[in-house]
């Protein structure tokens, strides 16, 4: 079965420094026309960082759209032309007191492919040190939280961790294949 949808026309409903919302008219596989709203996003990087004491580095921050504070892996939007690995290193150092000597790509995935083209690049940090001199962006207020694997399992069970990118990252850490 042919599944492709073809864009016939479109217009931009909203655009700011990093986000665009398009309304497109598309042709469905059966030949019918339909409208799609698409949030265009430059992508982001997130980082799974684990200390020598086998504690994962998370940040707690208020998420306005969710209406609550969430525990998440450090993450952030890609700057124009930025290498996702460099973004992961930068976000770890900006949002937490930690830096990493290097990162290794684990996966890339869509955040919400039903309406958004954002791709998140997930990295595992290596050589973690508590020596960052960077600060969060002016509009970011974050608290660093360190959790063991057992504490992570409990936080997931209690729905304290319910962010998709964080759940994906932690699943890698909790599985035997990614445990350092």
180 HSE (CA, 13 A, CB side): 16
Statement to judge: residues 68 and 157 lie in one domain: yes
> Which tens digits make up the pLDDT trace of 30-41?
999 999 999 999
10 HSE (CA, 13 A, CB side): 18
Separation of alpha carbons 171 and 178, rounded Å: 9
User: Does residue 72 contact residue 59 with C-beta atoms inside 8 Å?
Assistant: yes
Residue 31 lies in a domain: yes
Q: Say whether pLDDT at 177 is over 70.
A: no
Kind of pairing, strands 33-40 and 102-110?
unpaired
- Greater pLDDT, 114 or 135: 114
Q: Say whether pLDDT at 60 is over 90.
A: yes
> Which tens digits make up the pLDDT trace of 66-98?
999 999 999 999 999 999 999 999 999 999 999
Tell me how far apart the 2 most distant CA atoms of the chain are, in Å.
Answer: 58
Separation of alpha carbons 169 and 124, rounded Å: 9
What mean pLDDT, rounded, does the chain reach?
Answer: 94
List the beta bridge partners of residue 103.
125
Q: Say whether pLDDT at 178 is over 70.
A: no
Statement to judge: residues 24 and 79 lie in one domain: no
**CATH code, 126:** 3.90.79.10
Residue 153 lies in a domain: yes
Confidence band for 135, pLDDT divided at 50, 70 and 90: confident
Statement to judge: residues 59 and 123 lie in one domain: yes
Domain with 123 in it: 44-174
Q: Choose among 4, 65, 59: nearest CA to 30.
A: 4
CA-to-CA dists, residue 108 to 16, 69, 120, 123, 169, angstroms: 25, 25, 5, 9, 11
Average pLDDT over residues 147-160: 97
Separation of alpha carbons 146 and 167, rounded Å: 15
The reported pTM is 0.92
Residue 180 lies in a domain: no
């Amino acid at each position: 079965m042919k599944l492709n949808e073809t864009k016939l026309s479109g217009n931009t409903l909203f655009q700011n420094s990093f986000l665009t919302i398009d309304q497109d008219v598309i042709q469905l596989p059966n030949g019918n026309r339909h409208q799609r709203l698409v949030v265009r996003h430059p992508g982001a990087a997130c980082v799974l960082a684990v200390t020598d004491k086998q504690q994962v580095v998370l940040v707690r921050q208020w998420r306005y759209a969710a209406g609550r504070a969430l525990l998440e892996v450090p993450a952030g939007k890609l700057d124009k032309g930025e290498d996702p690995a460099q973004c992961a290193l930068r976000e770890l150092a900006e949002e937490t007191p930690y830096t990493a000597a290097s990162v290794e790509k684990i996966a890339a995935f869509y955040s919400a492919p039903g309406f958004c083209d954002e791709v998140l690049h997930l990295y595992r940090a290596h050589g973690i040190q508590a020596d960052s001199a960077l600060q969060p962006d002016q509009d970011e207020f974050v608290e660093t939280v360190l959790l063991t694997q057992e504490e992570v399992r409990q936080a997931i069970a209690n729905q304290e961790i319910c962010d998709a990118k964080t759940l994906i990252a932690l699943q890698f850490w909790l599985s035997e294949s990614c445990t350092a």
